Amino acid sequence: MAPARATGAMAAAAAIAIAVVSYCYSCKSKKRSNLNFFFSKKKKLEPRKGVVDAIGNTPLIRINSLSDATGCEILGKCEFLNPGGSVKDRVAVKIIEEALESGKLTEGGVVTEGSAGSTAISIATVAPNYGCKCHVVIPDDAAIEKAQIIEALGATVERVRPVSITHRDHFVNVARRRALEANELASKHQNTAFKDGKDMEYINGHGSNEAKESSTFPSDCTGGFFADQFENIANFRAHYEGTGPEIWEQTGGCLDAFVAAAGTGGTVAGVSRFLQEKNSNIKCFLIDPPGSSLFNKVTRGVMYTKEEAEGQRLKNPFDTITEGIGINRLTQNFMMAKLDGAFRGTDREAVEMSRYLVKNDGLFLGSSSAMNCVGAVRAAQLLGPGHTIVTILCDSGMRHLSKFYDAQYLSLHGLTPTATGLEFLGIK
C-alpha cells in the first residue's frame, strides 16, 4: 500500500493533470464551436445609462473570410461600434475621469488635444457629459471629414501645418499651449471677478472684454487640461482595464495571439500587458506601417538611424496613407507594451485588405483596422492553422472616404487595388 503522503501527492498531481487536460479540451472545443461559444453569452439587454455607459463591451466577431483562408480563428474587436465611432472613446473617458478625480480638470473646463482625428472626435463626444468643452488642434493634411465632425460635435478646431514634433507649432505642442492659456484665462478671470471680494467686473453676469479677447476660450472657462494621449498613461489604463479584460472574457481566455498597430501605443500596450499577465503564452505582435520606427524597436531594440530621428528631417515626409498609426518616437504608453515580435505592413496590403473585407465580410473599415487585419493574417501564417488570433477594428471606413476610399487619391499614389483574393499576402 502506498504511504498516505504519496497517495495524497498522486491525487493532487492527477487533479492538476485533469484540470490542465480539461482546460485544453475546453479551449479546443470552444474553438471548434467558436460561433456558438461567442454568441451564446447572454447579451446585456438593460438600457445603458447615457453615452459614456454605452462605450466599451463591443462585440468580438469572427472574421469569416480571413479565418477560413488561414485555418485560424481570426477575431476582430468591433471598436468602430463605440458611440464616438472608434477605440478612442475608451481613452477619452479615462483621461477625463482621471483628470477630474485629480482636480486638474474641473467642470466648465476645456480639454485640449492635438489629434489627427479619432481621439479628438471621442473627446468632443464625451466632454459635454462631464460639463466640459473640447478644443482640438489638428494637422491640415488629415482627412477633412474628421475636422468637420469635431466641429459638428461642438468643439473648436484649429488646423495647423504638419511639422516635426520638435517644432513649437507641432499640433501636439500647440494643444499643450492652449491648455496653459485656458488656465491663465481662468485665473485672470477669477482674480478680476473676486478682486477685493467684490464682483466688480461683472455686468449682467458677463465678465470683462479684456479677459475674453485674450483667448480663444469663453471667459467663463474654469481652466484647461491637456489630454496628452501620447504620454498620459490613462490611455494605457483604458485598455489594460477595459479592452484587455473584455477580450479575455469574450474568448474565455482561449486565445493564442493578439496583434495591433500603434499610434500612441495605448491599445497594444494595455491589451498586451493584460493578456500576458493572464497567460504568458499568448503571443503579442505589433504590425507597423511604412515610415514608423517601432518595428525596428521591437525586433532590434533600436528606433532609427540618426538621420531618421524625429526632428532631424528637413520637412515632414510622406510615409503612409494609413491614419492614426506609426510613430518615430517612444511614447510612455508604448513603453508599457509586452511584445513578442513585429511585422511590417505596406500601404498596398492595407488597401487591398480593406477592399477584400468589404467584398467578403461586409466589413467597411478604416485604414488602421485594415492594417491590423494584415497583421492578424501575418500572425496566422507564423503560428500555423488552429490558432485563435485577436485584433482591433479601430474605426469605420466612413471616416476615410476622401483618402483611403477615394479612387483618385489611391491612383495618385499608385495604390489602386487589383487583388481578387488574398494573393497580396501570399495566400492563393
Ligand X SMILES: Cc1ncc(COP(=O)(O)O)c(C=O)c1O
Nearer to ligand X, 217 or 334 (CB): 334
Closest to ligand X by CB, 221 or 327: 327
Q: Which is nearer to ligand X, 76 or 265 (CB)?
A: 265
Minimum Å gap between C-beta 287 and ligand X is 11
Kindly state the smallest distance separating residue 309's Cβ from ligand X, in Å.
20
Q: Pick between residue 223 and residue 244 the one whose CB is nearest to ligand X.
A: 244
HEC letters along 240-255: HHHHHHHHHHHCCCCC
**CA 426 to CA 417: how far, in whole Å?**
16
The per-residue DSSP string of 132-201 comes to -EEEEEEETTS-HHHHHHHHHTT-EEEEE----TTSTTSHHHHHHHHHHHHHHHHHHHHHHHTGGGS-TT
Nearest to ligand X of 183, 372 (CB atom): 372
Burial class (CB in 10 A: 0-12, 13-18, 19+), 356: buried
**Coil/strand/helix, residue 258:** strand
Please give the C-alpha separations between residue 89 and each of 144, 365, 425, in angstroms, as whole numbers. 20, 17, 32
Neighbours of 49 (CB within 10 A): 8
Nearer to ligand X, 223 or 397 (CB): 397
Which one, 173 or 192, has the nearer CB to ligand X?
A: 173
Give the integer Cα–Cα distance in Å for 17 and 209: 76
User: What percentage of the chain's residues is helix, strand, coil (to nearest 5)?
Assistant: 50, 15, 40
Q: What's the closest the beta carbon of residue 139 comes to ligand X, in angstroms?
A: 12
List interacting residues with ligand X (CB under 6 A).
86, 88, 117-119, 262-268, 324-325, 366, 368, 394-395
Q: How far apart are CA 201 and CA 140, in angstroms?
A: 39
- Give me the residue whose beta carbon is nearest to ligand X: 324
Pairing label, strands 60-62, 73-78: antiparallel
Distance, in Å, from the CA atom of 178 to the CA atom of 168, rounded to the nearest integer, reads 12
- Report d(CA 251, CA 35) in Å as an integer: 11
- Which three cell numbers mark 24? 485544453
What is residue 389's three-state secondary structure? strand
For the bound state, the minimum distance from the C-beta of residue 113 to ligand X, rounded and expressed in Å, comes to 10
Give the number of C-alpha atoms closer than 13 A to the C-alpha of residue 349, restricted to the C-beta side.
Answer: 22
